[in-house]
Each structure stands twice: as structure tokens, then as C-alpha cells.
Amino acid sequence: MIMMDKVVKRYNELIALDHFSFEAAEGEIIGLLGPNGCGKTTAINCMLSLLAFDSGDIEIFGEKVHPNNNSVKRRIGLVPQELSIFDKLNVYENIDFYCGLYVSDKTKRRRLVEEAIEFVGMDRYRKFIPKKLSGGLKRRLNIACGMAHQPDLLFMDEPTVAVDAQSRNFILEGIRQMKARGKTIVYTTHYLEEAENLCDRMVIMDAGRNIAHGTVEQLQNQISTQERVEVGVITDESDIESQLEALPNAVSVNRKNDNYMIHFEKQENNISNLIKFIESKDLTYTELSSEKATLSDIFLELTGKELRD
């Protein structure tokens, strides 16, 4: 569906995209992730022909991208991060306007608008203007405007930002339904747990480059931390942290009150080795849990922990 090969985009001295490559297959949800300023929006705008780029190639549906390729653009939808709805139009009118940009046949457009309203669960709000809607409902209206023409490829830029848990769950379930219908979705978000549960694959960007891509399991194999074990230990020993760090495969140990979070570089007998250590020291542990590295762990190790603007 998308092939982006070694694309370079410069803003004077700033390199926004540095030989960036990206692919999306039909029927998948692919997460485009990265810290602020990494180039995500620039990459999307280049794919949408909203920005010219300096070098490289982009193909959508097997065709070269250019601003006047309307046959390709009709098959693409965009749900922007910023709300793109008209304050003086009601819910129905907003969706009808955006759908009308792609569908001129009034009968077909009326059917598509009704389907979009039903899809986002806004039938009772069809005559409401945006200022009468909650934040979550505005987000759902934003989604309806972007997908009413039933595109084959949909770009969703942080569609759940600043919404309550119920609205987020509703939106995410709707995205899964679109995937079930065969739609391809490029999804950006800063909620990494959301991406981990929703996306088939992830591309992690930084400084305009594709620094890692694959499933969560494939990304886990690209970092040093493979397993995190949290243990609560009652002890008076002052050097317990250094002793835990000496365990096989241990990378680091962080303490919070009586609990210790141990990061291991391999998933080999870490729990059993830890229990043997505790028993050898005649210690008592109050809790013990283990989990593989999360997408958040992967993201922070690959992009760094320093604050971005």
C-alpha cells in the first residue's frame, strides 16, 4: 500500500527526513512512533503530497505520489491531530462536507454519511454543532469526517489525544473494525501501550530516520533489556542493590522503597536465579513479578530518556 524509500526532506539547514524508508502492507495497522520533532508529521505530509521532498521515492497503491494524482487521493483518508471541523456546521453537515470532497453523487454520499454517523455512534448528536459536544465526541466527529468516504488507506494522527477512557476504548474498537474490513491504517500516538495493543507492526523514528521497525517481539530482540523482574525484599543489608546487580544477565537495578526493579538482558532462568539468591541470603520476599520489555522500554532505550521540545 505504501512504499517510501530513502526520502530526504530539508528545511534550509534542518534535515527533517534523513533517507527515511517506510512500508505499509494491505490490511495492517502500522504504528508510526517517535519523540516530538522526530519527523512523523513531515513523513505523513510527504506521503499525502502536501509537502515536496528533496530526494527519494514514494509510491501509494503502486503509483508515484504527486499533488495532482486525484485517483490515488480519493482512496486516502486523514484524521489530523488538530480538530478539523467547522464550528457553524452540525455533525451531519460536517461529515457531509468532507465526504462531498470525494463523492459527488448525492444518493451515495447520503448513505456514506449515515454509515459514518452510525460507525462513530453519533446518531443522537447529528444536529449538534461542535461547541455542544464533549471532547470525546469531537474526536469521534473528526474521525467520521476523515473516513466517511471509506478510504482504503487511512492516516490517523493521535486520534485519542485528550479524551476520556470510555471514548478512547470506543475509538480503538472502531479502528479494529476498520482493519477487519480490510482497511490499512497508519497510526501515530504517544500512548505506547495503546500502540502495543493495537498495531500489527511499529516503525520508530528519531531525527528523521527509521531507527527500528517490526512487531513488538521483533523490537524486543533489538534492545538490551529483555525482562523486568520486580521483587519486594525485607533486608537490612546496605549493599543489596549491588548484590542483585551481580545476578546473571542483570543489567541494572532500581529501588523504590522495599521494592527492586531488576532489568535483565536475557530471559534465561532469571526468576529461579533470583529465588536461589534470596534463599541463600535467608531473606523474605513480599512480592515477585516478571514481564517482558514493553514498547515503552523499547522506545526509551532506542530514542533516549532526555526531554524533547
Contact predicate 262/229, CB 8 Å: yes
Q: Is the pLDDT of residue 306 over 80?
A: no
DSSP letter (8 states) at residue 123: G
Q: Who contacts 153 (Cβ-Cβ below 8 Å, separation ≥6)?
A: 1, 2, 24, 60, 61, 75, 76, 77, 183, 184, 185, 186
Q: Who contacts 269 (Cβ-Cβ below 8 Å, separation ≥6)?
A: 248
- For the stretch 239-283, pLDDT in tens is 899 999 999 999 999 988 889 999 898 888 999 999 999 999 988
What's the pTM? Answer: 0.85
Burial class from Cβ neighbours inside 10 Å (0-12, 13-18, 19+) for residue 62 reads exposed
What is the pLDDT confidence band of residue 148, given thresholds at 50, 70 and 90? Answer: very high
> Dihedral (C-alpha) 92, 93, 95, 100: value to the nearest 10 degrees?
130
Domains of the chain are 2-220 (3.40.50.300), 227-292 (3.30.70.1340)
- For the stretch 203-249, pLDDT in tens is 999 999 999 999 999 998 888 888 889 999 888 878 899 999 999 99
Q: Is the pLDDT of residue 2 over 90?
A: yes
